[in-house]
Amino acid sequence: VDTHVIDGTALSRRLRSDLAARAAALAGRGVRPGLAAIEVGEHPASRVYVRNKLKACAEVGLHSEHVALPDTIPEPELLARIRALNEDPRVHGILVQLPLPKRLAAERVLQAVAPAKDVDGFHPLNAGLLATGHPRFVPCTPAAVMAILEAEGVNPWARHAVVVGASNIVGKPAALLLLQRGATVTLCNSKTKDLADHTARADILVVAVGKPRLVTGAMVKPGAVVIDVGINRLPDGKLVGDCDFPSLLGVASRATPVPGGVGPMTIAMLLANTIHAAELAAEGRTPGQAGEALLQVQRA
């Protein structure tokens, strides 16, 4: 098998030029899509992620705000800041960069973000819409996985997709999206026995664990499509995924590298969600019919 190395950077560049056009169309109607990124404390990786997200906003013409808050901020004050952003008409999307300091209840903080501005898709309402087949804001990383498959012409319909890792922000929503696209899905977690027996049956293999080189070429079916979501920094400073990339070559039909695979597409999906939120706001709609009904239930 001659493995095609998927170029996430090139794919994201293409997507971003479409997004810039959508942002420009909105600007023509007097709406500049805006994103607020909340960062609490100083986490070195978070700083890089937030900076990259804000830079990407600027590149496609989005307004962005970096809300950098001290590590010591009391939770009620953080919630009040989020509520103020919920009401701010210049802000269409709000993200809270994770991880939060442990003393804060992350679930409570994420739930404070208005569902209509929840461009990370972490609010239980948006998670529920996704789970019931009416996705509104899909979490950016699983959305990136699906966008890559689509751009590569890989149709999940009637294929066997195996997702390794079942977190709320990556693995679980990725499995739901694959299921909704017609795949038969196996979702593995840390308790899974004989992981290789599962991975070896995958036509599409998505790995999102956070363990360097957990999946090797020997665990992959020849011809499979492998999407590596993992980002791990080795002691020598090198960035690697959850797959042992060199061993995939000659086995997988297509594979994403790390870096340069899912990462750049994830940021593009965040921009896409923010523009989507702004488009819906410009039309005077809250996003999605089902979403609106559920929002009314939530408000009642």
Residues that bind ligand NAP (CB under 6 A): 141, 164-167, 169-171, 188-192, 195, 208-211, 214, 229-232, 262-263, 266
Q: What is the nearest approach in angstroms of ligand NAP to the Cβ of residue 285?
A: 29
| Residue 147 beta carbon to ligand NAP: minimum distance, rounded to whole angstroms | 12
**What is d(CA 4, CA 253) in angstroms, rounded to the nearest whole number?**
6
Please report how close the Cβ of residue 231 comes to ligand NAP at its closest, in angstroms.
4
Q: Which of 218, 206, 268 is nearest to 242 (CA)?
A: 206
Say which of 53, 228, 242, 244 is annotated catalytic. Answer: 53
Catalytic residue status for 111: no
How far apart are alpha carbons 260 and 256 in whole angstroms? 8
Can 238 be counted among the known catalytic residues? no
The smaller minimum CB distance to ligand NAP, of residues 7 and 88, is found at 7
Kindly tell me which of 26 and 60 has the beta carbon lying closer to ligand NAP.
60
Could you tell me which residues come within 8 angstroms of residue 46 by beta carbon, excluding any fewer than 6 positions away?
A: 39, 97, 98, 99
Closest to ligand NAP by CB, 155 vs 190, is 190
Decide if 172 is catalytic. no
Helical axes 44-59 vs 8-28, angle rounded to 10°: 50
Report long-range pairs for 134-138 (Cβ below 8 Å, ≥24 apart).
134/288, 134/289, 134/290, 134/291, 135/177, 135/180, 136/287, 136/288, 136/290, 136/291, 137/273, 137/276, 137/277, 137/287, 138/173, 138/177, 138/269, 138/273
CA–CA distance, 239 with 108 (Å, rounded to integer): 32
Q: How far is the CB of 168 from ligand NAP (least distance, A)?
A: 8
Shortest separation between residue 261's beta carbon and ligand NAP, angstroms: 7
Choice between 135 and 165, CB closer to ligand NAP: 165
User: For residues 148 and 281, which CB has a smaller minimum distance to ligand NAP in the complex?
Assistant: 148
* 118, 120, 228, 242: the active-site residue: 120
Which residue in 97, 117, 172, 242 is the catalytic one?
97
Catalogue the active-site residues. Answer: 53, 97, 120
